Chains A and B, each alone.
Chain A
Amino acid sequence: MKNLILTTAMLALTAGAALAQDVVRMGTEGAYPPYNFINDAGEVDGFERELGDELCKRAELNCEWVTNAWDSIIPNLQSGNFDVIMAGMSITDERDEVIDFSQNYIPPASSAYLALTADADKGGVIAAQTGTIQAGYVAESGATLLEFATPEETVAAVRNGEADAVFADKDYLVPVAAESGGELVLLADEVSLGGGVGLGLRESDTELKAKFDAAITAMKADGTLNTMITKWFGAEALTF
Chain B
Amino acid sequence: MFASCADPSTLSGLNWTLCYLTTGKHLDFYWSFVTVMMLLVITAPAAMAFGFGGAVAARSHIAPLRWIGKAYTAMVRGVPDIVFFLFFVIALDQGIEWVNHQYQCPDWTEPVWKGLEFRVCPAAKVPLSTASAGWHQAYGFALAVFTFALVFGAFAANVLYGAMEAVPGAQLETAEAYGMSHRQVFRRVLVPQMWTYALPGLSNLWMILIKATPLLFLLGVQDIVYWARELGGAKTQAYAYPHPDWRLYYFLGLMVFYLVMTKLSEIVLGRLTARLSQGQATMAGDAMRKAAT
Q: Scan residues 5-45 of chain B and give those whose CB is less than 8 A from a CB of chain A.
A: 8, 23-25, 27-28
B238:A33 contact, CB within 8 angstroms: yes
Asked if A191 is an interface residue, CB under 8 A from chain B, the answer is no
A18:B230 contact, CB within 8 angstroms: no
B241:A40 contact, CB within 8 angstroms: yes
Cβ-defined partner of A43 (8 Å) among B24, B233, B237, B238: B24
Looking at B117, B119, B123, the one whose CB has the most chain A CB atoms below 10 A away is: B117
Known A-B contacts A41-B25, A202-B117; the reply to A23 vs B236 at CB < 8 A is: no
| Nearest neighbor of B115 in chain A, beta-carbon distance | A203
Asked if B279 is an interface residue, CB under 8 A from chain A, the answer is no
Asked if B2 is an interface residue, CB under 8 A from chain A, the answer is no
Q: Scan residues 1-52 of chain A and give those whose CB is less than 8 A from a CB of chain B.
A: 15-16, 18-19, 21, 23, 25, 31, 33-34, 37-43, 46
A24 to B158, CA, bound (A): 45
B245:A31 contact, CB within 8 angstroms: no
Could you tell me how many residues of chain B have their Cβ less than 8 Å away from some Cβ of chain A?
41
Known A-B contacts A15-B128, A98-B116; the reply to A156 vs B27 at CB < 8 A is: no
Cβ-defined partner of B233 (8 Å) among A34, A46, A152, A204: A152
B234:A42 contact, CB within 8 angstroms: no
B129:A23 contact, CB within 8 angstroms: yes
- Min Cβ gap B134→A in Å is 12
A98 to B247, CA, bound (A): 36
Could you tell me how many residues of chain A have their Cβ less than 8 Å away from some Cβ of chain B?
42
Produce 1/0 per residue, B126-154, CB < 8 A to A: 00111001001000000000000000000
Cβ-defined partner of A179 (8 Å) among B23, B129, B242: B242
A140 to B125, CA, bound (A): 41
| Nearest neighbor of B140 in chain A, beta-carbon distance | A81
A41:B123 contact, CB within 8 angstroms: no
A40:B234 contact, CB within 8 angstroms: no
A to B CB contacts below 8 Å, 8 in the list:
A15-B128, A15-B130, A19-B130, A31-B230, A33-B239, A202-B119, A203-B115, A204-B117
A66-B133, A179-B236 given; name 8 further pairs at CB < 8 Å: A15-B123, A18-B130, A37-B238, A42-B24, A68-B220, A155-B234, A175-B237, A204-B119
**B-contacting residues of A (Cβ < 8 Å)?**
15-16, 18-19, 21, 23, 25, 31, 33-34, 37-43, 46, 64, 66, 68-69, 72, 75, 78-81, 83, 98, 150, 152-153, 155-156, 159, 175-176, 179, 202-204
